Amino acid sequence: MKEKILLIGGGGHCRSVIDVIELEDKYEIAGIIDKKELVGQDVLGYKVIGCDNDLSVLIEKYKYAILTIGHLRKYTQRVSLFNLLLKIGYELPVIVSPLAYVSKHTVIGKGTVVMHHAFINTSAKVGKNCIINTKALVEHDTTIEDNCHISTAAVINGGVVVQAGSFVGSNATIKEYIEVSGFINAGSVKS
């Protein structure tokens, strides 16, 4: 029997993560936590069953949770919710699409989601509470620190360090062996 998992946030990123979880077939989605006024609504066949205030009660029934809110310019909401879930006692697993490639020589922190067709090469380190989005490439010996979002089709070349809380936009390219931080615009090249 599969463990049940709560999804925290019911927007667009949630729908994408639902697709990954269904394909991975490791967890059963118990429901979604979102704003109080959205309780009872449906997201791809899964009900919004509560809001953040219900998390301390729901831990009695469900021990697994994953953040399914996106990270755009500000990552503070994701960090606050991640810390709240840990404080309450939830386990935050790593979710990896079976369509992604993750080297067995890679370390990934709790609560990180690796989306479809992402590629994480050998000796990379990905921190906690990160999003490695669709078709992102994280090359060898790269470090992605905690609370980062590597967006769709971004290319992080070998030996790069992406500092905590950073957002790397779609199709951005980061030259090898440099350190980057903050908000990196879509399509930009950092060298």
Q: What is the per-residue pLDDT across 54-100, written as a single tens digit (0 to 9) for each?
A: 999 999 999 999 999 987 667 888 999 999 999 999 999 999 999 99
Does residue 191 lie within any of the structural domains? Answer: no
Are 79 and 102 in the same domain?
A: no
Domain range for 140: 94-186
160 and 173 inside one domain? yes
CB neighbourhood size of 46 (10 A): 19
pLDDT score of 4 more than 80? yes
Q: Establish if 29 belongs to a structural domain.
A: yes
Q: Which of 93, 116, 136 is the last residue of a domain?
A: 93
Query: Domain check: are 140 and 89 in the same one?
Result: no
Q: How close are the terminal C-alpha atoms of the chain, in Å?
A: 48
Query: For position 72, what pLDDT does the model report?
Result: 64
Number of independent structural domains in the chain: 2
pTM: 0.96
Question: Which CATH number is 137's domain given?
Answer: 2.160.10.10
Which whole number is the average pLDDT over 173-186? Answer: 96
CA distances from 18 to 26, 79, 92, 189 (A): 12, 21, 15, 31
Average pLDDT rounded to a whole number, residues 6-31: 97
Which of 15-19, 70-74, 131-135, 161-165 has the least mean pLDDT?
70-74
Same domain, 182 and 99: yes
Same domain membership, residue 121 and residue 179: yes
Q: Are residues 101 and 182 in the same domain?
A: yes
Picking from 7, 128, 126, the residue whose alpha carbon sits closest to that of residue 136 is 126
User: Are residue 99 and residue 182 in the same domain, yes or no?
Assistant: yes
Q: How far is Cα 179 from Cα 148, in angstroms, rounded to an integer?
A: 14
Asked, for residue 26, whether it belongs to a domain, the answer is: yes
Whether residues 127 and 61 share a domain: the answer is: no
pLDDT for residue 73: 63
pLDDT (0 to 100) of residue 130: 97
In this structure, the answer to whether residues 148 and 179 fall within a common structural domain is: yes
Burial of 53 (0-12, 13-18, 19+ CB in 10 A): exposed
Q: Which of 28, 60, 93 is the last residue of a domain?
A: 93
Q: How far is CA 17 from CA 37, 65, 173, 178, in A?
A: 22, 12, 24, 30
Q: What residues have CB less than 8 Å from 112, skipping those under 6 apart?
A: 94, 95, 126, 127, 128, 129, 130, 131, 132
